[in-house]
Amino acid sequence: MSKSPIFAQPSPTFARRAGQFLLDYYIYFVLVLVIGLLSVANLDKFGLFERGNFLYERNIINILRVSAPLLTLAGAFTLLMVSGYIDLSVGSAMSLSAVVYAMLAINGVPFLAAFAITMVVGAGLGLINGFLVVRLNITPVIATLITLSFYKGIALLLVQDGVSAIKSVGDLKMPSWFNSYGREGVFLGLPMAFWIAVAVTLALVIAQNKSLLGKYAAATGGNPTAAKLSGIHTGKVVVLLYAIVGVSTALAGIARSSFMSLGDPLSGDGMELSAILVVLIGGTAFSGGEGRVLRSFIGALIIMALTVGMLTLVPAFYQTLVIGAALLAAAASNHLVSRNEVGK
């Protein structure tokens, strides 16, 4: 007697499709889950959209404003890791960019000129990393650890002795426009820095999906030997990706500097760990060849939601532990996914 169709087992095709669906969209479910948990964590004290609750409008706006630097950096960092390379100097490059931008502003350079010069500086920092890795053939981790210290040293040197940051002091004042970029709402209460982060992400999503840069980055990370044999100049691709990361760190530095109303030479400390965390959560393979810019953007939102949400829920001395545990979990899950992909 044949079994009733009602009790039939799911077909292998259905199981594969369901598994692929989860792999493709899990990051969005995680974001909804995190927001949901943070929203009900103190529901006994505050209403769902009242002041004090995670979903309070002003709180959401503040989270997105603070998130601008990481959101700006996530996409470029993803493409670089997709190519099989990494940049551990992004935090120091961001700090140096923040200091340069603040120096220019406080010395009377107009906004657009200061913005453009800082972006050129950021591109230069990225090109230095690319030169060390591609031309001098230094391992990316070692090369960018060197520049991590080098860029931080320059940032500290640019700040005068006895002063912790470049800021308004005495008769020397920051211009009135300085913090508008990172603080003043231009649409939906959100500042220009956030919308630039969105624009950068959209541009990189298009570049990854529609341009040769995205295809070449994936080919370089997936199988560099085959990429070279197929005519791809992998060295130029990698240098260009480092330059794009450099521009993104400059934009992140400008956003952080504008938000804080000063140029802090330590403002980017830890950004490299945050960048690694968001791309791992987004499913980017640490070994290269696989990763999506949009997923990393969502991963950055998850990390920032957790970071800000924990301020009222978790004692300060536990927060670093929680972030470390999240990094460990992301790395472990990333490894398991990558192993399963290889085993297919």
DSSP secondary structure string for all residues of 112-180: HHHHHHHHHHHHHHHHHHHIIIIIS---HHHHHHHHHHHHHHHHHHHSPTT-SSB--BTTB---TTTTH
Distance in angstroms (rounded) separating the CA atoms of residues 108 and 173: 10
- Tens of pLDDT, residue by residue over 193-230, are 999 999 999 999 999 999 999 999 999 999 999 999 89
pLDDT at position 342 is 46
Arithmetic mean of pLDDT over the chain: 86
pLDDT at position 315 is 66
- Look up the pTM and report it: 0.88
Distance in angstroms (rounded) separating the CA atoms of residues 214 and 208: 4
Regions of the chain where pLDDT drops below 70: 1-12, 19, 312-317, 319, 323, 326-327, 329-344
Q: Where are the beta strands (DSSP E) in the chain?
A: 185-187, 190-191
Distance in angstroms (rounded) separating the CA atoms of residues 343 and 327: 24
